[in-house]
Chain A
Amino acid sequence: METKLVSYYSDSYSEHAALLSGQSVLWLQALRHAALETFAATGFPTLREEEWKYTNVTAIEKHRFKPVANSEAINAELLKTYLLDDMWNLVFVDGKFSAEHSQLDGLNNEVEFHNLAYVLATQPEKLEPYLAQAVSNDEHNFVAFNTAWFNDGLFLNIPAHQVLTKPIQILHLTVSPDCLATSRNIFVAGKNSEAQIIETFVGENAYLNTVVNEVFLAENANLTIHKLQSESKQAYHFGGTYVKQQPHARFQHHNFSFGALLARTDLHVDLETAAECSLNGLYLGVKRQHIDTHTRINHNKPHGISREFYKGILDNRARGVFQGRIVVAKDAQQTDSDMHNRNLLLSANAEVDTKPQLEIYADDVKCAHGVTVGQLEEKSIFYLQSRGINIATARNILTFAFANEMVEMVSIPTLKKLLATKLLNLLPV
């Protein structure tokens, strides 16, 4: 059969493949090859796919993004603003680990903590049990794309019973024009272990950033991931996090999406017996930003608990998409699940498409969900005006208060402060 070129990104792959990590690792080469074939068949997802019907990514094909071999300029200002104190920091510039900007002093030696390119060069067998195990290339073609193209990332393996005393920050700084930054992270938390991770995405110029996190929580492990995404207004972002929770494991996710030009976050959680997850998020889009969040919680076994609370704020011509899907399997009796999505539209031209989906196959469960889309209340604005506050400030105060509820849920002081500052910059009061 004649092969038809569907994407520049499969066509140009061979030019760049030699630069990607893990060249001598045969099983990885096979995995990458299969992923590339999957991607090449249909290219990036299209509006015809149910999970992508509100998010049009065809503009990515108008660019010629490519991996950057040597990143020369670093934006020191961005680094200074977003690199948080009092934690271990790993910095990735244009998708590659930068030892120079990272800070890992005092990390417990029992914790395995290396960039992926290094592990692939030294002990690739350590990755084999995990890579492409929490998510398969069939999920959609951004995952296949990531598997084919990833060059670096973080391998974090926390042994059983270890508690990390400080959060780990993974800062993705993308600065080179037309950069293709592709990273893959593997987080493994052993039995009874505990850790907090902050992934931060910032950058300038036009680029494509795709990141896939595969997360494995052993029994009774407790992991919190914070995602702060605030990228260049010319950039494209795909970030997928796929979590496997063993019995009694706990997972918390706080997702702050200030977007790019187009940003999509996927968050999938698989819960075994009595595992708990809590997914909180805020998306805030302005101008012509498009911010899409897709979550999926699979209650596979009994007694699982899930809590999901997302808020969205869309101004100007921005568009938000929220899809929250919860699947309760036949076996998953006594599931307790609650999902809410509240949206604030600040302009007549802003739009949100919100779609909660519950699929329940068990008969003894507690599942609640609710969605609201609204505007700032005139009576609240007038109340503030009657106290001497001008109308623009009144609107910002009310919007800030709506958003800040999500910031208040964050327990790391430095991150909380950064988020509040970020909000105040967007909504001066």
Chain B
Amino acid sequence: MLSIKDLTVNVGDKQILKGLNLEVKAGEVHAIMGPNGAGKSTLSHVLSGKAGYTITGGSIIYAGKELTELEPEMRAREGVFLAFQYPIEIPGVSNIYLLKAALNSIRKHKGQAEIDAMDFLIWVKEKIRLLDMDEKFLYRAVNEGFSGGEKKRNEILQMAVMEPKLCILDETDSGLDIDALKIVAHGVNSLRSENRAFVMITHYQRLLDYIKPDFVHVLADGKIVKSGTEELALELEEKGYNWLNEQAAV
């Protein structure tokens, strides 16, 4: 589904990603861990098409297409979803409006008719129960005045409504207490399917207690320096990241 080869990315004159390789197949869950400044968020931003990054080499092939040639909205319509580390507050735009506009943008892209208002309401209420959110969140402005946990749940709600193929979770666990983490993990787990892949970017191992990854990768100094299974995450938790930095420097 996703094949990243020798990806190099600059922010201004500074090289952040230095030849990153990653293969993700449908149905898989990959966790990408690494110290601050390793390039984790850069990877998620580059995948979603955020401005401010210059791709200097390599390729990102998603579903047979060069992803970097698509505008951010086209990536979303093609099934790439980014759950933001810091979800944006949008005063004056209601959650339900955004959810409906998002869903319709995908339906239109697929050549389907816009969803009927009543059908949409039934559909979205089903999804909101999955995230244990009150229906009143539908009518509030997007993320405005939401707590950290509510914002993260709202990201997963958007994901549930848009039904993407490739879900990128950027530090979705940061700022969550254990109860909120369980709810978010439940939402994510219920969306796991053989047609859908997840790339979870995280700093901590604890997320992986609730969302079991198939693969764990360590990103350090702009590239994947080690790949393994769940045990790698536990090893990292125990030893910290310093030994990796030493390895990378060799």
Which of A382, A390, A401 has the largest count of B CB atoms less than 10 A from its CB? A382
Interface residues of B in 76-112 (CB under 8 A from A): 76-77, 81-82, 84, 87-88, 90-93, 98, 101-102, 105-106, 109
Residue in B51, B77, B90, B98 whose beta carbon sits within 8 Å of that of A378 in the complex? B51
Min distance, Cβ A374 to any Cβ of chain B, angstroms: 13
Closest residue to A405 on the B side, CB-wise?
A: B92
A129 near B: Cβ within 8 Å? no
Contacts A397-B93, A405-B92: A387 and B71 contacting too (C-beta < 8 A)? Answer: no
- In the bound complex, residues from chain A placing their C-beta under 8 Å from that of B91 are 401, 405
- Check: B125 CB closer than 8 A to any chain A CB: no
The answer on a CB contact under 8 Å between B77 and A402 is no
Tell me which residues across on chain A come within 8 A of B48, comparing CB atoms: 386
Interface of A is mostly: helix
Contacts known (A378-B51, A401-B93); A389 close to B84, Cβ less than 8 A = no
Q: Let me know if B105 and A388 touch, CB within 8 A.
A: yes
Q: Which residues of A contact B88 (CB under 8 A)?
A: 377, 379-380, 383
Which chain B residue has the least Cβ–Cβ distance from A379? B88
**Interface flags, A25-48, vs B, CB<8A=1, else 0:** 000000000000000000000000
Give B108-142 interface residues, CB cut-off 8 Å to A: 109, 141
Q: Is the CB of B109 within 8 A of A384?
A: no
The reply to whether A382 and B92 form a contact with Cβ atoms under 8 Å apart is no
- Is the C-beta of B187 less than 8 angstroms from some C-beta in chain A? no
Query: Is B73 on the interface with A (CB-CB < 8 A)?
Result: yes
What range describes how many residues of B lie at the interface? 20 to 34
Q: Which of A172-231 contact B (CB under 8 A)?
A: none
B residues in contact with A400, CB < 8 Å? 92
Measured in the bound complex, the distance between the Cα atoms of B106 and A287 in whole Å is 33
A386 to B102, CA, bound (A): 9
Please, how many angstroms separate the alpha-carbon atoms of A391 and B75 in the complex? 13
Known: A386-B82, A387-B162, A389-B102. A401 touches B49 (CB 8 A): no
- CB of A157 closer than 8 Å to a CB of B: no
The reply on B72 being an interface residue by CB < 8 A is yes
Give min CB distance, B137 to chain A, whole Å: 16
Q: Are B102 and A387 in contact (CB under 8 A)?
A: yes
B202 within 8 A of A: no
A interface with B by C-beta (< 8 Å): 377-380, 382-391, 393-394, 397-398, 400-402, 404-405, 429
Nearest first, the 8 closest Cβ-Cβ pairs linking A and B are: A401-B92, A388-B105, A385-B72, A388-B76, A383-B88, A387-B102, A385-B73, A401-B93
